Structure 1
Amino acid sequence: MLADFHIDFAVPPGRLPLVFCLVAFILTFFVTRTIVRYIRSHPEGEAGAAPRKWWQPRNIGTGSGLHIHHVVIGVVLVMISGVTMVTLAVDGGVPEFTVTAIFFGIGAALVLDEFALILHLEDVYWAEDGRTSVDAVFAAVAVAGLLILGFSPLSFFDIDIWRAEHTLLARAGVVAAAVLTLILAVVVLLKGKVWTGLVGMFVTPLLVVGAIRLSRPHAPWARWRYTNRPRKMHRALERERWLRRPVVQAKLWLQDAIAGMPKFPDDAKVDEQLDREIRAAPAPRDRSAVAKPEVEPEKEPA
């Protein structure tokens, strides 16, 4: 008797996204573990160690010394992909999809309310650093609101042209415009203008304005470009104080309103808060300098 064992490994089209999700999950896990092991076996700052090349893995951090763990990147990617799937794939006429979207919204709110804990890896819920959670929630609400109003990210990326035109020139033009938009967004974010970069992804002219105007004084752009240009750094500091003053006044008024009786803050309290928030970026470290042990000069014989 002959037995015919025929196994069909074809994946149904409806499950392809799940397959790609699983493959990406496994590959990312192994790549992340490899990078972390490399960083741990090659610690930075050791005496006599050569500076890291641009392509060598290293820890991600800020100029203030805050170490950004890869869980932060993961949370941001999960939120972006979740909102994208809810926006593009969910049919409002299917109750199951709508219920799933509701649960995603609940989970996203709970995660972002503790975003400062994830970022700092310590309980800063009621501390000054805990405001990062509020900023993250405001950013999520702003993005969702823009999507509801019909705005789409990467507005230069015309999906209709991409679908209608199959010529290489037309598609290359669409891709080039989208890449230009992303470059402008990166420049704006490097200048410390988070809200301009966020909204500018939906309203592209804002990215052009943000890329042309002065950087915020504490941003990486100011650290790289304004450190040796004191006049420009001074202009950035003065402009920051002028623009931030009404924001700080509103924030202090809101804090008083939540804590007790609302009252307009006096100028001394506003200036004190501005002095804490507004600062010039530190000068970048000289990567060409390699830490070497000091060698005492040879003494001449007596």
Structure 2
Amino acid sequence: MGEWWQRDIMEPGKLPLLLALGAFVLTFVITRVVTRLIRAGRGPFGNVETGGVHIHHVVPGIVLTVVGGFGAVAGGRHGFGSAAAAVVFGVGAGLVLDEFALILHLDDVYWTEAGRKSVEVVVVTAALVGLMLAGFAPFGVDDLSPDERQDRAGVAATVAGNFLFSLLALAKGKGRLAIFGLVVPVVALVGAVRLARPGSPWARRFYGRRPRARAKSRLRAYRHDRRWSGPSRAVQDWIGGRPEPGPDRR
């Protein structure tokens, strides 16, 4: 354990990243617990208001993210300052992304169906940072040998190719595969070669005069959503709380 910690965390300067990830996840969990208690009318917690204005936790989150971000840039990857800045940044990022749906819709949709987007973004962000912490580098550069990394043309070709796969996956309506494909290239390749989802830019451009491909795309999307939407919603409800229909707010 000690050898792994020194070799994989301390020497590469990944301690700030680990601390930021831990603070990010812990902040999100605590925030969701508190907001669910407020929603249920339990405990000593309550909404923060001043002058009749509800102060969302995204506000202090932005402040902490800015402070922690600049502190991390100034502090490097080693030392107490960089570690402290990483924790502050992680806390701020957790508060901000917990209300990602509010920023996206410019409306308090925290406990509505649209508010699920915040949980999705937090889970995806934590997973991506975890992959980077485990040693995966964006665009698949970690797959190159030391000699290949010294060849700028090889690195540029690898980055461009993997980025292209991610763009194709995104154009086919496979956003999650595109995002994860930036870190794990084979994931983007899977999204790039499979059928596009109906309504995606790729489907509108290339399936317009291909009724068979359009029908196959709709059928595959229907089967996929029927299989995975239920478990996905159950996990989101367990993590973030069940949304309420209508315009109900916190």
TM-score scaled by length of structure 1:
0.50
Q: How far apart are 1:205 and its partner, in Å?
A: 1.8
Q: CA RMSD in A?
A: 2.9
- Aligned with 1:154 (options 107, 131, 139): 139
Provide structure 1 residue ranges, at least 5 long, that are not aligned to the other structure.
1-74, 260-302
AA of the residue aligned to 1:185: S
Shift of 1:160: 4.0
The one-letter amino acid paired with 2:99 is E
**What does the per-residue CA deviation read over 1:42-62, in whole Å, with 9 as the maximum and x for residues that have no partner?**
xxxxxxxxxxxxxxxxxxxxx
CA contact (8 A) 1:197 1:207 kept: yes
> Are residues 177 and 251 of structure 1, via their aligned partners in 2, closer, same or farther at CA, if it must alter by over 3 Å?
closer
8 Å contact 2:101–2:110 — kept in the other structure?
A: yes
Aligned equivalents of 2:139, 2:83: Cα separation in 1: 26
Q: 1:149 to 1:156 in 2, by over 3 A?
A: closer
Match for residue 134 of structure 1? 119
Contact 1:156 1:181 survives alignment (8 Å): no
> What's 1:68 paired with?
none
What stretches of structure 2 of length at least 5 have no aligned partner? 1-61, 243-250
Structure 1 counterpart of 2:107 = 122
Does the alignment pair 1:90 with 2:77?
yes
Contact 1:152–1:202 (Cα < 8 Å) also in 2: yes
Q: 1:213 aligns with which of 174, 187, 194?
A: 194
Q: Which residue pairs with 1:239 in the alignment?
A: 220
Indicate which of 204, 212, 217 corresponds to 1:223.
Answer: 204
SS of 1:122's equivalent in the other structure is coil
For 1:182-193, list aligned pairs within 5 A: 182-193=163-174
Q: Secondary structure at the match of 1:154?
A: helix
Query: Aligned pair in 2 of structure 1 residues 185, 252: CA closer, same or farther (>3 Å)?
Result: closer
Equivalent in the alignment of 2:155: 174
- Larger helix share, 1 or 2: 2
Asked if the contact 1:115/1:132 (under 8 Å) is kept, the reply is: yes
Q: What SS does the corresponding residue of 2:138 show, helix, strand or coil?
A: coil
Bigger relative contact order (CA 8 A; separation at least 6) = 2
Partner residue of 2:230 out of 249, 259, 262: 249
Greater radius of gyration (CA): 1
